[in-house]
Amino acid sequence: MVKQQIDYYASHDKMYVASDCIVFGFDEGELKLLIFKRRVEPDKGSWSLVGSFVELEEDDNTAAKRVLKDITGLDQVFLEQLKTYTKVDRDSGARCISIAQYALIRIDDHDKELVEKHGAYWCNLNAVPQLTLDHNVMVEDALEVLKRKAKYQPIGFELLPEKFTIPQLQQLYEAIYQRDFDPGNFRKKVLSLKVLEKLDEKDKSNSKRGAFLFKFNPKNYKKLLNSGYHFEI
Q: Please report whether residue 1 resides in a domain.
A: no
138, 195: one domain = no
142-188 residue pLDDT tens: 999 999 999 888 999 999 999 999 999 999 999 999 999 999 999 99
145, 179: one domain = no
Residue 155 near residue 78, CB atoms below 8 Å: yes
Residue 150 near residue 158, CB atoms below 8 Å: no
**Residues facing residue 22 across a β-bridge:** 102
What do you get for the CA distance between the two ends of the chain, in Å? 58
28, 119: one domain = yes
Q: How many CB atoms lie within 10 A of CB 204?
A: 10
For residue 110, what pLDDT is reported? 81
Question: Alpha helix locations (H) across the chain?
Answer: 2-10, 60-72, 112-117, 135-152, 166-177, 183-192, 218-226
CATH of the domain at 181: 1.10.10.10
Residue 133 near residue 46, CB atoms below 8 Å: no
11-39 residue pLDDT tens: 888 899 999 999 999 998 999 999 999 99
Q: Please report whether residue 4 resides in a domain.
A: no
34, 114: one domain = yes
Where a domain ends, among 104, 122, 151? 151
145, 165: one domain = no
- Residue 127 structural domain: 9-151
213, 168: one domain = yes
Q: How many CB atoms lie within 10 A of CB 159?
A: 24
138, 183: one domain = no
pLDDT more than 90, % of the chain = 75
Is pLDDT of 111 > 90?
Answer: no
Q: Please report whether residue 115 resides in a domain.
A: yes
179, 105: one domain = no
Where a domain ends, among 101, 128, 151? 151
Is pLDDT of 191 > 60?
Answer: yes
Residue 139 near residue 49, CB atoms below 8 Å: yes
Distance CA 167, CA 173 (A): 10
